[in-house]
């Protein structure tokens, strides 16, 4: 399930070359992915995270809720450890980057079909680098998203209906957790690690 036609065409061509695999459906967004999964019940679902309307994480949640044993391979451009951890926590079987070779994609599909997990090597390294590091709270993420938009502490406080000193406290915590030197640096790190969208 991917919203880019060229990506879907390439994946379909790669999969259809295999004698024991076939593509039984394609979706252009997360809402359609959920509907098609319910109707077709594929052995393995390839799912992009960045899709219009309903994103990949929401689609993953819905698919796994309807079928707890669903095999879902997340196939995305986002390597950030926070995003990977969230997808795996929500039940993704595997996590591949779109830079993966045809052999890696086919191998991941085969392994997912037999219940085995595949995580791209670049992602495994990223997870190892940040294993055990502090996670941002929902409130800290909200503060950081507004800071990314260029809002001052005062404007963030007004938007979130909290005191300006509370915003300062959250920002101090964010900088410490991310090892950032300032707000801009924190946004850059948070985007790279997948806490917020680029």
Mean pLDDT of the chain: 86
Q: How high is the pLDDT of residue 126?
A: 65
Confidence (pLDDT) at 43: 94
The count of other CB atoms within 10 Å of the CB of residue 92 is 26
The mean pLDDT of 177-184, rounded to a whole number, is 89
Q: Which stretches does DSSP call E strand in the chain?
A: 45-47, 72-76, 94-97
> What pLDDT is attached to residue 132?
57
**118 Cα distance to chain centroid:** 15
**Does residue 38 surpass a pLDDT of 90?**
yes
Residue 32 has a pLDDT of 92
pLDDT at residue 194 in the model: 76
pLDDT at residue 146 in the model: 94
131-177: pLDDT as tens digits: 556 677 889 989 999 999 999 999 999 999 999 999 999 999 989 98
At 72-120, the pLDDT tens digits run: 999 888 777 778 888 888 889 988 888 888 999 999 999 999 988 888 8
The pLDDT score that the predictor gives to residue 21 is 92
Q: What's the pLDDT score for residue 124?
A: 72
Q: How confident is the model at residue 52 (pLDDT cuts 50, 70, 90)?
A: confident
Residues 51 and 30: their CA atoms lie apart, in Å, by 6
Q: In degrees rounded to 5, what are phi and psi of residue 97?
A: -90, 155
Q: What integer pLDDT is reported at residue 58 of this predicted model?
A: 92
pLDDT at 131: 58
Tell me the C-alpha to C-alpha distance, in Å, between residue 24 and each of 43, 44, 49, 137: 10, 10, 20, 39
The whole-number pLDDT of residue 79 equals 75
Do 151 and 159 meet the contact criterion of CB atoms below 8 Å apart? yes
């Amino acid at each position: 399930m991917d919203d880019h036609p060229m990506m879907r065409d390439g994946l379909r061509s790669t999969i259809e070359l295999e004698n024991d695999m076939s593509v039984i459906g394609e979706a252009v967004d997360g809402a359609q992915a959920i509907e098609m999964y319910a109707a077709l019940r594929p052995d393995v679902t390839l799912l992009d995270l960045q899709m219009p309307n309903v994103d990949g994480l929401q689609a993953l949640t819905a698919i796994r809720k309807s079928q707890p044993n669903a095999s879902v391979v997340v196939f995305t451009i986002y390597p950030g450890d926070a995003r990977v951890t969230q997808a795996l926590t929500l039940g993704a079987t595997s996590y591949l980057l779109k830079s993966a070779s045809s052999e890696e994609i086919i191998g991941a599909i085969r392994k997912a079909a037999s219940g085995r997990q595949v995580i791209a090597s670049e992602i495994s390294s990223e997870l190892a680098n940040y294993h055990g590091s502090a996670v941002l709270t929902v409130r800290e993420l909200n503060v950081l998203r507004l800071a990314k938009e260029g809002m001052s502490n005062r404007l963030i406080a007004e938007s979130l209906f909290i005191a300006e000193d509370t915003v300062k406290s959250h920002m101090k915590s964010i900088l410490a957790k991310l090892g950032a030197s300032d707000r801009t640096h924190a946004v850059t790190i948070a985007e790279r690690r997948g806490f917020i969208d680029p």
